Amino acid sequence: MTHGLGDIWEYTHLNKLDHLSRTHTVNKIFQRVVDISVQNTLTTLQKQPKMRTYCLFKKDVKLERYLTEINSSNTRKFLSKFRLSDHKLEIETGRYHRPKKTPEQRLCQNCGTIEDEIHCLITCKINSSEREQTFARISIQDKTFYHFDEVTKFTYLLQNDNLCDQNIYSFIVKCLENSYAAKL
């Protein structure tokens, strides 16, 4: 049995259970099916090269809080696209360059290193002043933040609850705008 429900199917006679036990059993089955579906979805995502960044911070499947808590629909749309790597950073635009650039060739024009989402938010020179202010504010709430490595800082910013913080989502929008403006 693919969902690991054999014990329940084989040894439980649902119609012989009282209401509470039946509800408990049905909930257990439902939760198990949900867990398996979520795991399958995440495993499928991890196999897609374009989804490499998304998988850094997407650890479960549920309605994201930022989609209901951020009032501006433009900001919500912008953040959703960024989380799905639908943006104009070189790591994506280089994909459509002819001849196609390898990931190592998709460089930031200002820094000479690979321009991906982590570079844009965490290390790009273009965004250093915004970064300094935002990270200082974050470190007031979370004193360990400055000790995180680059990937952990990035996933911290994109995590569901943190992304609802205006300080953080405004920083992400501003960094992208700065990076796009620098390409013109």
Residue 58 or 106 having the CB closest to Zn ion: 106
In angstroms, how far apart are the furthest CA atoms of the chain? 71
Please state the closest distance from residue 67 (CB atom) to Zn ion, in A. 29
Please state the closest distance from residue 172 (CB atom) to Zn ion, in A. 15
State how far the Cα of 167 lies from the Cα of 30, in Å rounded to an integer: 38
Question: Cα–Cα distances in Å, from 160 out to 68, 102, 109, 119?
Answer: 11, 31, 31, 20
Residue 110 or 159 having the CB closest to Zn ion: 110
N-to-C CA span, the chain: 57
Q: Which residues bind Zn ion (CB under 5 A)?
A: 108, 110-111, 124
Please state the closest distance from residue 105 (CB atom) to Zn ion, in A. 15
Residue 123 or 159 having the CB closest to Zn ion: 123
State how far the Cα of 7 lies from the Cα of 13, in Å rounded to an integer: 11
Please state the closest distance from residue 177 (CB atom) to Zn ion, in A. 14
Residue 70 or 124 having the CB closest to Zn ion: 124
Size (the chain), residues: 184
Q: What residue type is assigned to position 58 of the chain?
A: K
